[in-house]
Amino acid sequence: AVPLVVAVSTALAARSGFLIRDRSAFERAKDLTAVVFDKTGTLTTGRFGVTDVLAFGGAAEDDVVRATASVEAHSEHPIARGVVRSAEERGISLLPLENFRAIPGVGVEGKAGGRTVRVVGPGYLAEQGIAAGDERVGTLQRQGKTVVFLLEDDRLTGAIALADIIRPESREGVGRLKAMGIRCMMLTGDNRDVAAWVAGELGLDEFFAGVLPHEKAAKIREVQRRYRVAMVGDGINDAPALVQADVGIAIGAGTDVAVESADIVLVKSDPRDAAAVIDLARKTYRKMF
Ligand code: ADP
Ligand code: MG
């Protein structure tokens, strides 16, 4: 039989905006000492808008947008959606594309107009030893903007900066957790400057940047050597980390894969409810014993 206090708490949980998929994980939530948040789509809305277009070596801005959007039109990534929307708004027509390929956490590529076109993050450029265009790139990143780069036949021809919006509830969520004695961290595939800006805005204790999708679970394992950890995420690439964590928490508006990998779902996609989960678990299981 389900103890009465737990039954009452489950009803309370539903009203508070979270859904318990695994009751033993909810019990473990009382002992958590750290929460690791994914950035894009979790602490931020994941809705990117293009803010700046940089053209290098005599390229035209519209051509940079056209080539980039032609590849991104085949991707579901939040960055891709932002780029394609921007091309639409500028009335830019796209090029036919062949051999599309997405590399998780790195970027996308395809063949258009007889050229190999790649759209990648700063990690790929560093790996290939390609300089990041000019000093405007660093300035944009320090403003918290995500910058992606356009490579045509391995030549850097442009860059596009996008801004995502921090969820208005994130700051308060982090504040509540810290007041409860919980260490707050962030895990992201995005670049260090962007991550540092978001971490500063939210008052996070620690962050890990440039983490590739397949490295996220290992990062959680590393944090587990020091803390009892909840992971909060929304994406397909967060699923293994949600499973690895002591408690996996999915953002309700996230992908099906994330929701199905999680123990608890924040139905209103409100990061403050992560604090509510731990608070209710503490109260529930303290009453029982
Ligand atoms: P996060 O961990 O923040 O949710 P991802 O792992 O999905 O982010 O992506 C990490 C980085 O990989 C992005 O910041 C970007 O640099 C690059 N990237 C991934 N997919 C794409 C894409 N479709 N277009 C351009 N860049 C991409
Ligand atoms: Mg995400």
Ion ligand 2: protein residues whose beta carbon lies under 5 Å: 38, 40-41, 234-235
Provide the percentage of residues in the chain whose pLDDT is more than 90: 80
Q: What are 117's strand-pairing partners?
A: 110, 152
How many alpha carbons fall within 13 Å on the CB side of residue 234? 22
C-alpha to C-alpha distance for 94 and 71, rounded to whole angstroms: 9
Which atom number of ligand 1 is nearest to the Cα of residue 72? 23
pLDDT at 2: 62
What mean pLDDT is predicted for residues 150-158? 96
pLDDT tens-place string over residues 105-145:
899 999 998 999 999 999 999 999 998 878 999 999 998 89
C-alpha to C-alpha distance for 188 and 170, rounded to whole angstroms: 15
Quickly state the pLDDT bin for 7 (edges 50, 70, 90): low
Q: What is the CATH number that goes with domain 49-163?
A: 3.40.1110.10
How many alpha carbons fall within 13 Å on the CB side of residue 72? 26
Q: Which CATH number fits domain 4-45+166-288: 3.40.50.300, 1.10.10.10, 3.40.50.1000, 3.20.20.150?
A: 3.40.50.1000
Distance of CA 196 to the CA centre of its chain: 14
C-alpha to C-alpha distance for 196 and 201, rounded to whole angstroms: 9
pLDDT at 4: 63
pLDDT at 3: 65
The ipTM is 0.94
C-alpha to C-alpha distance for 16 and 36, rounded to whole angstroms: 21
Task: Kindly give the distance from the C-alpha atom of residue 104 to the centroid of ligand 1, in angstroms, as a whole number.
Answer: 7
- Given CA atoms 6, 7, 10, 15 in this order, what sign does their dihedral have? negative
- The verdict on pTM exceeding 0.90 is no
Residue range(s) occupied by CATH 3.40.1110.10 in the chain: 49-163
Closest ligand to Cα 43: 2
Residue range(s) occupied by CATH 3.40.50.1000 in the chain: 4-45+166-288
Q: Quick check: is 273 catalytic?
A: no
C-alpha to C-alpha distance for 224 and 231, rounded to whole angstroms: 11
